[in-house]
A = this chain, B = another copy of it.
């Protein structure tokens, strides 16, 4: 692959990405479901333009999955590429310097919701493929693209699809480009992701709001009751107070802990520039890496109850609601944790209240065995473009669909071109354009190297045991 594509095409690529990012594909807000479809259609058009003979929107009870297959390249391995075209809601809007769906370049960074998570990275993969086609004139391997529209909202379309058609996503490896470098100039590959159990807790204490003068002193206040339940689920040091919660937690391996201890880490910069706080919280006996990568947490994402307009209203509120989630680590299963949460809330609920826990979505934690040769290929690609191999870390976030990808033992390569300060899920989310331009070269190179490595493994005679070959035989 020659490296002139990016230099030549930068203005056009920036224009195309801006067009993609301008579509407010906020999957969790029903008002944006038309926009989610527009983003899916944008991908369909793009994949068709890239010469994929199969491009379909797979429908279900939610936003469609975009599925595409590159031209068949007999004898070459098959790579599954996963990404998502939906984005988080942009609020609080007033904290954005420029509107979230009007992509804007400042100081070499492209600001927009989805710039890094994950539209910018999906775009990077598509353009890496385009760059290889541009340079080599033909695809080096069999590509399968699966882009979902419900990663941020926990929809069921993709998992219903994978359950109905477990063979569809069979591949020699899966590439999931939804992550970031460990630090600037430090590309990363991920050995694990936390799982997620997302729920809403609603409390009702009265049939109607009451006057706090008349009834204050005897009438149970729904916000106060919810507040005590939430305070009771976790102690001040961050330890989750649910019976047997930590029992099944598997600690990280010695090798991982050793790697983490050697990572460059500037705690002051992390605190002030990334976390933007005065102090950190959490379980003090554990390192920051352990707290964010290898221990479960419980966060309150939103709370609402009573009168929240301007001014004063003296009600005793009858009901209140909070959204919470638990991040889970190896050894934990989200369905079991959901039941533990329900029980813990029931135990914390006083006799005067009804508390209801609604599980909204979840996914199990991910553990990746990075000893597979595909990771050596990724290292080569990073080394050839940015001069450094990928460092092996974990991530505290979750991609709930990964455990369901039905890869039958094939490796999941979790990596990405983001940077730690991209502001995922926050106002002023951005992507450094330099990361995009090098990313296109890295993944273009990876596609080529992955094909070569698989062929070398088979003595240059073609990847007999590759998925493409197996399919050809089956179809015969």
Contacts and interface: CB of A to CB of B under 8 A. Distances in A.
A311 B210 contact: no
A215 B288 CA distance: 9
A422 to B, nearest CB: 9
B211 A397 contact: yes
A186 to B, nearest CB: 16
B297 A301 contact: no
A163 interface: no
A353 B353 CA distance: 30
A308 B291 contact: no
Interface string A307-334: 1111111111110111101010000000
A217 B28 contact: no
Interface stretch (A70-78, A242-250, A272-280, A408-416): A272-280
Interface residues of A, number: 99
Contacts of A84: none
Contacts of A281: 218-221, 352
A360 B301 CA distance: 27
B216 A299 contact: yes
B397 A214 contact: yes
Contacts of A424: 211, 214
Contacts of A423: 208
B228 A228 contact: no
A135 interface: no
A205 B277 CA distance: 6
Given A277-B220, A428-B208, A309 B395 contact: no
Given A211-B425, A227-B227, A307-B89, A280 B216 contact: no
Interface string A33-54: 0000000000000000000000
Contacts of A208: 95, 276, 423, 426-428
A372 interface: no
A295 interface: yes
Contacts of A301: 212, 223, 306-307, 312-317
In order of increasing CB-CB distance, the 3 nearest A-B pairs are A213-B397, A28-B311, A207-B276
Given A227-B230, A308-B321, 11 more contacts: A91-B309, A152-B312, A208-B426, A211-B397, A214-B292, A214-B424, A217-B297, A302-B307, A302-B315, A312-B325, A313-B425
9 contacts: A88-B314, A196-B213, A208-B426, A216-B396, A300-B306, A301-B317, A302-B307, A311-B360, A312-B323
Interface of A: 27-30, 88-89, 91-92, 95, 152-154, 194, 196, 198, 205-221, 223-224, 227-228, 230-231, 234, 236, 238, 274-283, 288, 291-292, 295, 297, 299-318, 320-323, 325, 327, 350-353, 360-361, 395-398, 420, 423-428
